Structure 1
Amino acid sequence: MKLITKINLILLPVVLLFALGFIALTYQGMVSFNQEQLEQQLISDLNHFDQKLGYERRYMLYDSRRIAVNLHGVFALKPTQRNQALQQIAYDLNSQGGLIDTIQLFNLQGELEHSSELTNQFSNIPRVPIESSVIEQANQLSADAVNSSLQSSYFVTLDKQVLFYSIFLVQADTIVSERKFNKLALIVRRQSVMDDFILQMKQKYGQSMVINFEPHQSSIASQAGQIDVTSDSAINITMNTQDFSLTMTLPLTYVQTMLPYSLSQIGFFVFFILIISYGLLVTLLYFNVGKPIHQLLGTIKSTRFGDDVKLAKKKGNSEINVLINTYIEMLNKMNRLAAFDSLTGLSNRRSFHSQFQKQLNRAIRRGSLMALLYIDLDNFKKVNDHYGHSTGDRLLKLFSERLQKSIRPSDVAANLGKGEIARLAGDEFSLLLTDIEGPIAAEKVADRILQMFDSGFQLDGVNHNVQASIGIVMIPDDGNDVQTLLQHADAAMYQAKLKGKNRLQFFNRDIAGGIQRKQYIERVLIKAIHHGHFNLVYMPIFDSQNLKPVGVEVLIRAPSLASKGIGPEEFIPVAETTGLIKDIDAWVLNESLSRITYLTDKYQFDGFFAINISAVELHNREFPQMVKSMLLKHQADPSRIELEITETSFVDNLDNSIRQLNHLKSLGVSLSLDDFGTGYTAFTQLIEFPVDKLKIDRSFIQGLDEGASEKKRMVDIVLALADLYQLKVVAEGVESEEQIEYLKYRGCEMLQGYFLSKPLSWDDFQLLIEQSHSSQTA
């Protein structure tokens, strides 16, 4: 997944959540703000109402007092005169802006005696009830001629009408001097302020507005009201006074109608802004993060080994710049590590191939000559074995320093460029000479290298017996591609070793023919492995006492190669160098185990099968598991399987070879050391090898007939060592009766050779086993 895609996947949910949260907070903030504004507006409306109500109440009280003074004696008049008098009072009052609607007259028992409407605006004002406490107070004051004043004011709600009334104690008769206050006059005024207020609120806030007025049954006092605000499911504004309680209720949904924008409009606006912001953010991330990283990745993908780093270092300490600069430094370090050998500081194989190809292309374009020297140090392994790898490393490092000095500035016949001298492998080096005049120049440099070893190679005061074999190819005469030239130089170096080491060898037609022969063998082996074009022959091994077969050595043959005169001694090394030997060993092992199972079932053969394995298998970690799988597949007894390893197999990496042998030994198979005495194994090392049997090389056995005392002594030593280490011994290459008798006399248990039997085909070997089985049962 690309970086920008990952950033989008991370940012997009965050942005969406932020958008939703922002929309919710914005909307809630607008609702809260408008609700607060609405509450303040409602409180203001309520205060304004309270002010108007107070103003009307004051004028009502004032008018009530004026009427009360004029009412004395009016109710003693006849009804017609009384109505006229009351109409005149109302007219006089209303002409002066009065606010009285009705006058009701009660006796001191609270009974209504008269009701008169002073205006025609309201004709349905009901009787106002008088509290008993007011009647009691009026009776007490009526008895007191001196203090007979009574004045009380109230709010009351009757028939859904809010009324304001005042009560006065008045004199009913016309004789003022007697001051008999024996009537109660109620002066009533319908509260149009309330009606107007409700109408205004309905018009202003709609029909959802609910106003509830609750008068208190107590005398009116002109005190300021207390306002309470609650907003649970609705906005409730309540004014509490001593005279009444007024509550205004408005649903919270009304707040939404006050918002300048709806929720969807806010959401659209916020998403629009966020999309623009998100686009800008992604663009900034792309140009500041994504694009530099893409450039870095493109450079990483396109950069090949040895190429110069195309990225320029960035200024600044941002993470991306630090990443790019770190990569550039890392790539430069990796190029250095990948291009040069860590021990010697010379170019390694891969770097050398690259430089070689460049120089080869240049030489082809210019038509110039070059020479490639392939150098291998002889006997270098002995330095590692006897003095340790640290000493071997110092020797290689010293040799590489001397090798670089082998090209002198005075050598005008050859030039050495950067990266044209390399360490290809452990003790293998290469030297590429460019723009040379001819083979003589290459030979001159090679001779100078060989002179380094004329008196051995001095290191730490020790003269090591190390030499060099050098193969030389001329370019373009010996090839025109890197792989072919290296192969030809290696073949020439190998030929120098065969001719005695510490010498140089130019590549020639004979060597080229050998390479072609090896290539032919390789092609045939590949085809033979694919089609199974191999067969086995069986070399019997006999008991030295009764000369009966006790085992057999399995030998492989390739008919398609045998017809060309190519035997195992030639095609096995080719198979080992090309890696084909693993498939061949697997085929031999599978066939051998199937045959021993067959012989056991048919002839009750209890002898062993000796199977040769290549030295390559000592470094093949998968080989023991393959052997185990084959044993299980064929249900073969591992104690009757003997794996033969030549003594020279231990030349490379003795410790690893011994570990591999121990692993194989743990499977229950036997191990045999073939061609013993011809390799470099010290007799004292024999105890380290987990082998069960030694095979004396035929070269020592042949000397027994020739009277060579040193050969006999060698055979005697091997037999004595075998007895000392409790190992069995097989003498191979037995060719005469005298050899048999001597070996029997010296205690050699088993014999093998053409005198006893040549390698047999499968049918002939079965016949031999059958005859041996018949003689035993006879």
Structure 2
Amino acid sequence: MHGTYNLWLVALSLVVATLASFTALDLSGRLSLLTQAGLRRAWLAGGAAAMGIGIWSMHFIGMLAFSLPIALGYDLVITAGSLVIAVLVSYFALFVITRAKLTPRRLVAGGILMGFGIAGMHYTGDAAMRMKPGIQYDPVLVAISIMIAIVASCVALWIARTLSDADQRHMIAKRLGAAVVMGVAITGMHYTGSAAAEFPLGSICGSANGIDGHWLAVTITLFTFAILTVTLMLSRFDARTTLLAGSVSQLNGQIVRMATFDTLTDLPNRRTLTKRIEHAIQTARQQQNLFAILFMDLDGFKTINDSLGHTAGDEVLKAFAQRLLHCVRGGDTVARLGGDEFVVLLEHIASPDDAGHMAESVLERMRKGVWADKQPLQVTPSIGIALFPQDGETADTLLKHADAAMYEAKRSGRGTYRFFEASMNEAATRTLQIQHALHEALGAGYFCLHFQPKFRGANGELAGAEALLRLNHPEIGSLPPLEFIPVAERSGQIVQIGYWVARETCRQIRRWEASGLPAVKVAINLSPRQLTQPDLVATMLDIVRSEQVQCDRIMFEITETVAMQDAPRTIEMIGAFHANGFEIAIDDFGTGYSSLAYLQRFRVKQLKIDRFFTNGLDANGHEGSAIVSAIIALAHSLEMDVVAEGVETTSQLDKLKGLLCDQMQGFLLGMPLTAEAFGALLHAHTGAAPT
């Protein structure tokens, strides 16, 4: 007997096969994202059921599309068996697709097993008709149908595996195109298998039951579409939910990391460090051992930030953080507290010497190490060390004492380390008091200027003055410059204080001139921090002009040590001052090891001999005189005037006059005076009557 096909049902079977294939591809991508074993197994079982029903429905609709001159029907038990085969095959397919590694060998083996499974489902479905006599099959076409099933299975597994990455672009379009290819392959296998079946004349169907095949096809189709659609919707909804949950989890992780780690250097922050110190305290108490806190602050970092910008400063901080990690042991904690402050928690040490050796190692490697970051700036820290339990029994106390020791290291010359001592608490408290006083001083008027006179060596006439800053605070009293200037320098407050000194000096010069006193030249000291300001010359010029004072009334003094730190830049800056009519003096000459080449290129107006050499005129006899004589001769050969500081004895004065020193200042000649007292001195030396 020859059968016929309902083309509408054939087309419908192709659509069902395509939808089942798309569902399989979507589920494979969904399963690849699941990490929880229980949820993965649940989706694998549910997906296999939906996919199996889809493949089986395609097969069954294809069977219903086939008709013979006799009534046809299908045995319920055998049909159910074919459905079970379809579900098992689908489960196997999804399991293979979502394995961690799909090798070519596994791909071929899986394709062969799937192909035989699909063929088994098809021919089991044929057996459900219970034809008498039995269906005769063309062996060649049967073999071809099995080969189609195997090849289609291999291709389907490969496509599904390839498209399981949910991050690929145009994923929906790719899966839809692949589903069409897979649907055609599955449908082609079915109809090739059907073509292999031959029904002898006179055959009858033992399962004929009188049910309308068209209505059965419509029912199965709608049922299948509903299952596959619901499965796809659940998969999409769950995928979005999982993605959202993953995003929330990732965001929470980022928030937690931001709360516990420094965003610039990726080191633990203060909060995390405190917890680790508290844990180290508990461990040390239980095991009766020591640990150390190394508190570090980068020397000169503010200068880098001010001169090169914050971007360069951030790069320096990141480079230092990585270098520091390479300096410590694997189990040590390196943290950044903020700014340029870093801390190393050094646990399980045998003695305080271990902490000292670590500090020495860090300093040595920072000075001489060759680093992979290629950062050209050489940054060295000052380090303060606090030990548990002798220096404190809480995290806050240990950090506070290590910080105090670090400031002592800075006061000791920087680039070194100090262990905490009880006396440092007093020094740290005093430093905080001074910082607070400096913060108030400008606005509250606690600063004032004194003027130390300078006299000519040849005739003793008044040559000018040096402006000296004084601080009188209502709570902590009168402070000497040697106490508050270093604090202002470290904190950066010296920049604004220096501008106040320049402005107040100009105002005082105008007051003297308004009183009828003659013009006088006043020297102003420039601090190292001021010299790093890119707009220093322009700002000073604005101050002088706004106060209506001639530039040649102001001389700026730069210490030799500071001038030689960056000699080319110093030359450039001195040139800018000279171009605007200011004069420059090199202060404390003889302490900074100037080369003659640079001294010649500085082209300053004055050299000020350090008081060490002035004292040597009495203490060192002929040798002391020879050194001062050489300095004066050198300065005169370069057309520079010489000023001797710290003249305190008559013998020093006489010797300096004999050596033709141009100007002198010191307690012997004149103490620092208030503005009013210096005005009176100026009047006495010139005979001008103040108005």
Q: TM-score normalised to the size of structure 1?
A: 0.46
1:373 to 294, 301, 304: 294
Structure 1 745/636 Cα, relative in aligned 2: closer, same or farther at 3 Å? same
Structure 1 695/430 Cα, relative in aligned 2: closer, same or farther at 3 Å? same
Aligned equivalents of 2:562, 2:664: Cα separation in 1: 23
Q: Is residue 2:327 matched to residue 1:403?
A: yes
Aligned equivalents of 1:658, 1:481: Cα separation in 2: 51
Provide the residue aligned with 2:277 in structure 1.
Answer: 360
Give the superposition deviation at 1:475.
5.2
Partner letter of residue 649 of structure 1? V
Residue pairs, 1:133-172, within 5 angstroms:
none
Provide the residue aligned with 1:617 in structure 2.
Answer: 530
Give the superposition deviation at 1:750.
1.0
Give the superposition deviation at 1:511.
0.9
Structure 1 607/448 Cα, relative in aligned 2: closer, same or farther at 3 Å? closer
Give the superposition deviation at 1:726.
1.7
Q: Is residue 2:671 matched to residue 1:758?
A: yes
Q: Is residue 2:370 matched to residue 1:446?
A: no
Structure 1 709/456 Cα, relative in aligned 2: closer, same or farther at 3 Å? farther
Q: Secondary structure at the match of 1:716?
A: helix
Aligned equivalents of 2:488, 2:547: Cα separation in 1: 26
Offset from partner CA, 1:685-723 (integer Å, 9 cap, x none): 323435321111111111112343333232123212212
Contact 1:695 1:730 in 2 (8 A): yes
Structure 1 653/302 Cα, relative in aligned 2: closer, same or farther at 3 Å? farther
Structure 1 308/603 Cα, relative in aligned 2: closer, same or farther at 3 Å? closer
Give the superposition deviation at 1:739.
2.3
Structure 1 504/708 Cα, relative in aligned 2: closer, same or farther at 3 Å? same
Structure 1 734/471 Cα, relative in aligned 2: closer, same or farther at 3 Å? same
Structure 1 307/735 Cα, relative in aligned 2: closer, same or farther at 3 Å? closer
Q: Is residue 2:487 matched to residue 1:570?
A: no
Aligned equivalents of 1:600, 1:305: Cα separation in 2: 66
Give the superposition deviation at 1:746.
2.3
Provide the residue aligned with 1:635 in structure 2.
Answer: 548
Contact 2:277 2:345 in 1 (8 A): no
Residue pairs, 1:515-530, within 5 angstroms:
515-530=428-443
Partner letter of residue 523 of structure 2? A
Aligned equivalents of 1:456, 1:365: Cα separation in 2: 32
Aligned equivalents of 2:567, 2:278: Cα separation in 1: 43
Contact 1:450 1:502 in 2 (8 A): no
Q: Is residue 2:332 matched to residue 1:416?
A: yes
Structure 1 478/658 Cα, relative in aligned 2: closer, same or farther at 3 Å? farther
Aligned equivalents of 1:536, 1:352: Cα separation in 2: 43
Provide the residue aligned with 2:200 in structure 1.
Answer: none
Aligned equivalents of 2:403, 2:566: Cα separation in 1: 22
Q: Secondary structure at the match of 1:546?
A: coil
Greater helix content: 2
Aligned equivalents of 1:756, 1:566: Cα separation in 2: 24
Residue pairs, 1:59-208, within 5 angstroms:
none
Structure 1 643/295 Cα, relative in aligned 2: closer, same or farther at 3 Å? farther
Aligned equivalents of 2:395, 2:630: Cα separation in 1: 51
Aligned equivalents of 2:624, 2:474: Cα separation in 1: 35
Partner letter of residue 569 of structure 1? L
Contact 1:453 1:468 in 2 (8 A): yes
Provide the residue aligned with 1:605 in structure 2.
Answer: 518
Structure 1 398/635 Cα, relative in aligned 2: closer, same or farther at 3 Å? closer
Aligned equivalents of 2:250, 2:298: Cα separation in 1: 41
Q: Secondary structure at the match of 2:473?
A: helix
Structure 2, unaligned stretches of length 5 or more?
Answer: 1-237, 301-315, 371-378
Q: Secondary structure at the match of 1:636?
A: coil
Aligned equivalents of 1:712, 1:502: Cα separation in 2: 35
Q: Secondary structure at the match of 1:691?
A: coil
Provide the residue aligned with 1:672 in structure 2.
Answer: 585
Structure 1 580/498 Cα, relative in aligned 2: closer, same or farther at 3 Å? closer
Superposition RMSD on alpha carbons, in Å?
4.8
Aligned equivalents of 1:675, 1:764: Cα separation in 2: 26
Aligned equivalents of 1:492, 1:498: Cα separation in 2: 10
Aligned equivalents of 1:528, 1:662: Cα separation in 2: 33
Aligned equivalents of 2:465, 2:326: Cα separation in 1: 53
Provide the residue aligned with 1:97 in structure 2.
Answer: none
Q: Secondary structure at the match of 2:479?
A: coil
Provide the residue aligned with 2:629 in structure 1.
Answer: 716
Provide the residue aligned with 2:600 in structure 1.
Answer: 687
Aligned equivalents of 2:645, 2:489: Cα separation in 1: 24
Aligned equivalents of 1:398, 1:303: Cα separation in 2: 21
1:727 to 637, 640, 652: 640
Offset from partner CA, 1:590-615 (integer Å, 9 cap, x none): 21101112222333422201112221
Give the superposition deviation at 1:648.
2.9
Q: Is residue 2:542 matched to residue 1:542?
A: no
Partner letter of residue 708 of structure 1? G
Contact 2:632 2:642 in 1 (8 A): yes
Contact 2:517 2:688 in 1 (8 A): no
Q: Is residue 2:265 matched to residue 1:339?
A: yes
Q: Is residue 2:617 matched to residue 1:701?
A: no
Provide the residue aligned with 1:272 in structure 2.
Answer: none
Q: Secondary structure at the match of 1:611?
A: strand
Structure 1 601/562 Cα, relative in aligned 2: closer, same or farther at 3 Å? same
Contact 2:616 2:624 in 1 (8 A): yes
Contact 1:521 1:561 in 2 (8 A): no
Contact 1:543 1:750 in 2 (8 A): yes
Give the superposition deviation at 1:557.
1.2
Aligned equivalents of 1:422, 1:525: Cα separation in 2: 24
Partner letter of residue 642 of structure 1? M
Offset from partner CA, 1:129-154 (integer Å, 9 cap, x none): xxxxxxxxxxxxxxxxxxxxxxxxxx
Aligned equivalents of 1:507, 1:764: Cα separation in 2: 45
Structure 1 562/770 Cα, relative in aligned 2: closer, same or farther at 3 Å? farther
Contact 1:695 1:729 in 2 (8 A): yes
Contact 1:524 1:561 in 2 (8 A): no
Provide the residue aligned with 2:384 in structure 1.
Answer: 471
Give the superposition deviation at 1:491.
3.7
Structure 1 680/524 Cα, relative in aligned 2: closer, same or farther at 3 Å? same
Number of matched residues?
425
Aligned equivalents of 1:497, 1:421: Cα separation in 2: 19
Offset from partner CA, 1:425-457 (integer Å, 9 cap, x none): 6xx9753123x47xx544324236647999999
Aligned equivalents of 2:418, 2:395: Cα separation in 1: 19
Provide the residue aligned with 2:651 in structure 1.
Answer: 738
Percent of paired sites with the same residue:
29
Give the superposition deviation at 1:542.
0.9
Give the superposition deviation at 1:736.
2.9
Structure 1 709/497 Cα, relative in aligned 2: closer, same or farther at 3 Å? farther
Structure 1, unaligned stretches of length 5 or more?
Answer: 1-286, 310-334, 341-346, 380-391, 409-414, 461-465
2:464 to 548, 551, 557: 551
Aligned equivalents of 2:254, 2:439: Cα separation in 1: 37
Partner letter of residue 709 of structure 1? H
Q: Secondary structure at the match of 2:617?
A: coil
Structure 1 485/549 Cα, relative in aligned 2: closer, same or farther at 3 Å? farther
Greater strand content: 1
Structure 1 614/481 Cα, relative in aligned 2: closer, same or farther at 3 Å? farther
Structure 1 456/626 Cα, relative in aligned 2: closer, same or farther at 3 Å? closer
Give the superposition deviation at 1:356.
2.2
| Structure 1 range deviating more: 752-761 or 559-568 | 559-568
Structure 1 630/308 Cα, relative in aligned 2: closer, same or farther at 3 Å? closer
Q: Is residue 2:489 matched to residue 1:579?
A: no
Give the superposition deviation at 1:771.
1.5
